[in-house]
Chains A and B, each alone.
Chain A
Amino acid sequence: GIQVEQSPPDLILQEGANSTLRCNFSDSVNNLQWFHQNPWGQLINLFYIPSGTKQNGRLSATTVATERYSLLYISSSQTTDSGVYFCAVSGGGSNYKLTFGKGTLLTVNP
């Protein structure tokens, strides 16, 4: 099945700093989503982005499908941005399910 690798596994920032999270995947995809898991466990959908670039406030994402990677940018980070960020994809013949990476644990300190 399709493989998803996220980096870095852990990231510690000071409030106000910018960061880039990366997601590499092993096959062509028809769905790619970035999620933020809050402290209560809920997965909050940040972007649906199988290709191209999108922006939502301080967050933006870019997926280069031909090179099989996606990037999530967080600018002017806030303590509320802390949590685990997951990249999830479907494709490679398994269109029905999302395969998740192991996530990036982001800690933003005041």
Chain B
Amino acid sequence: EAGVTQSPTHLIKTRGQQATLRCSPISGHTSVYWYQQALGLGLQFLLWYDEGEERNRGNFPPRFSGRQFPNYSSELNVNALELEDSALYLCASSLAGTLNYGYTFGSGTRLTVV
């Protein structure tokens, strides 16, 4: 069974540009979660998508947005990039409504803003 896959692995952008990160959940998982791991700030919850809808978001500005597609894959968009957006972005998936097996994370996308 394939795990959670994320692309690209690395991304370098210039301040002010937009970044798009992608995530494919484990087959059968309908919930996708995005987390940011910035240096010194730990793992922070960004967004939760389930059945194509945004269910909740963390304390991040509106320039962090995303969507979930009918096949449950997800995209995270970061607009008007700032230097402090440089971080590892991790995606996780789970079976919605059940927590019997927990969350599985992908390998992450390392975003560098210069």
Interface on A for B, CB 8 Å cutoff? 30-31, 33, 35, 40-43, 45, 48, 50, 86, 88, 90, 95-100, 102-103
Contact A90 B99 (CB under 8 A): yes
Q: How far is the CA of A96 from the CA of B48 in the complex (A)?
A: 8
Number of B positions contacting A (CB below 8 A): 24
Q: Chain B residue with minimal CB distance to A40?
A: B107
Contact A103 B90 (CB under 8 A): no
Contact A41 B56 (CB under 8 A): no
Contact B99 A31 (CB under 8 A): yes
A-B residue pairs, 6 tightest by C-beta: A48-B102, A43-B105, A100-B43, A42-B107, A31-B99, A97-B45
Report if B103 contacts A (CB, 8 A). Answer: yes
- Knowing A41-B88, A45-B105, A90-B99, the reply to whether A103 touches B33 (Cβ < 8 A) is no
Query: What residues on A are CB-neighbors of B108 within 8 Å?
Result: 41-42
Query: What residues on B are CB-neighbors of A31 within 8 Å?
Result: 99, 102-103
Contact B48 A33 (CB under 8 A): no
Interface on B for A, CB 8 Å cutoff? 31, 33, 37, 42-43, 45, 48, 55-56, 58, 88, 90, 92, 99-108, 110
Q: Chain B residue with minimal CB distance to A1?
A: B45
Chain B min CB distance to A73 (Å): 19
Q: How far is the CA of A100 from the CA of B33 in the complex (A)?
A: 14
Q: Is the interface of B mostly helix, strand, loop or mixed?
A: strand
Chain A min CB distance to B58 (Å): 8
Q: How far is the CA of A98 from the CA of B31 in the complex (A)?
A: 13
Contact A102 B42 (CB under 8 A): yes
Contact A96 B55 (CB under 8 A): yes
Contact B102 A45 (CB under 8 A): yes
Query: What residues on A are CB-neighbors of B58 within 8 Å?
Result: 97
Chain A min CB distance to B97 (Å): 10
Q: Chain B residue with minimal CB distance to A29?
A: B99
- Knowing A40-B107, A41-B107, A42-B107, the reply to whether A100 touches B102 (Cβ < 8 A) is no
Contact A42 B105 (CB under 8 A): yes
